[in-house]
Amino acid sequence: MDDAIAAFRQFLTAEKRASEHTVRAYLHDLDDLRAHATQVLGRPPRIDELDVILCRSYLASLHGKNDAVTIGRKLSSLRAFFRLAVRRRLCKSSPVAALRGPKRAKRLPRFLGKEDTARLLDGGRAGEPGADPCTAAMETALFEIIYGAGLRVSEACRLDVGDLQLDGARALVHVRQGKGRKDRIVPLGQKARTAYDDYLMLRQARVTAATQGHALFLTTRGRRLGPREVRRMLARRELRSGAPQVSPHALRHSFATHLLGEGADLRAIQEMLGHASLRTTQRYAHVDVDHLMAVYDKAHPRARSRS
């Protein structure tokens, strides 16, 4: 089975070009299956011993300890692994091809309203008392760009200085190696452009010999900013501004929802978000309708429930 797992690792990195996080998660799921099979058989299993019954018992053991989303992801990992094993003739058929994961509760993306978004982005511009001016400027530019271009946190952290293309008042963000290792170009608004210009004037003080490439967002030590630092910065900014507590990804959801509410085309939003399927982007249509219905029920005199 070790040879099959090694082949799967190579397939994920070389052919699928999956991210390190995805590779690590998929291989961890396979280790879980192997550990379960070892416990059942009393010895490490061969790949041809991983039959439907053993795989089903493994998935059943996950219930109560994992939610439906996690179980579904683990099943997806096993499907991808066995598809490759069948193609490489390491086993005759996939034991998980006919297995179905648990039903997932349909959760709509969490987003901020326009007023809360403005409070978050504008209210924390001054930064913490006594904070480094470069840190305050970087924080503002970071969240303006995440919201202004609908970026994932990892995409924002991977930005280099050359990824922002400036042409007069216009600005474009070149997102390299996004989810699925796909590139895309997203326009950037004036406020994000202004925040970027302000930060760029102060950024040079952090550029050292140890600076990682041409990273746009740098820590005080000149290293590329990471997702954990972004989450901590957002949490502090929420406390200063009084905005609701959300994850950085909620700014991406807010970007899509606000564009849709202003009449933007769903296909255009799909392109800017980098979604492979329009079905993924359609979630924001449901979010916007639900938001409008909530406003309608609250404000319209004929929609209010009778006391």
Catalytic positions, please? 152, 179, 249, 252, 275, 284
d(CA 255, CA 257): 6
The pair of three-digit structure tokens given for residue 85, joined into one six-digit string: 């094993």
Q: Among 13, 87, 101, 95, which Cα is nearest to 47's? A: 95
E strand or H helix that includes residue 84: helix 68-87
Q: How many residues does the chain have?
A: 307
Q: What is the dihedral of CA 173, 119, 154, 277, to 10 degrees?
A: -70
Q: Among 157, 136, 129, 135, which Cα is nearest to 145's? A: 157
Q: What share of the chain is helix, strand, coil (3-state, %, to 5)?
A: 60, 5, 35
Q: Kindly give, in sequence order, each residue whose CB lies less than 8 Å from that of residue 236, ignoring residues fewer than 6 positions away.
A: 124, 128
The pair of three-digit structure tokens given for residue 30, joined into one six-digit string: 């396979």
Q: Kindly give, in sequence order, each residue whose CB lies less than 8 Å from that of residue 113, ignoring residues fewer than 6 positions away.
A: 291
Exposure of 246 in the CB half-sphere (CA atoms within 13 A) = 20
Place of tokens 């099959």: 4
> What letter does residue 152 receive in the DSSP assignment?
-
